[in-house]
Amino acid sequence: MNDPFKDDELAGIREALRQALPPVEQPELRRDLWPDMLRRLEQPPFRVPWFDWALLALTAAALAFFPALIPALVYHL
């Protein structure tokens, strides 16, 4: 059995909530995002060339041999 007072109260709460929360709008996007997505999908996978790895290894080796350089490099970074 429904309680009429409770129903009224629920209806009041429902109405108050409806007024407090405006309906969600779905505005149109300014532009189509799909071409950007396609462009990104078509990009070749990120690859680091071997000479960059070689440079990094050379630098790491040089810093291991001359650790006194590390603070000087940190100062300039």
What residue ranges bind another protein (CB under 8 A)?
A: 48, 52, 55-56, 58-59, 62-63, 66, 68-69, 71-77
CA atoms of 31 and 34, how far apart (whole Å): 9
**How far apart are CB 54 and another protein at their closest, in Å?**
10
CA atoms of 40 and 33, how far apart (whole Å): 11
**How far apart are CB 26 and another protein at their closest, in Å?**
23
**How far apart are CB 16 and another protein at their closest, in Å?**
41
How many Cβ atoms are within 10 Å of 63's Cβ, its own excluded? 13
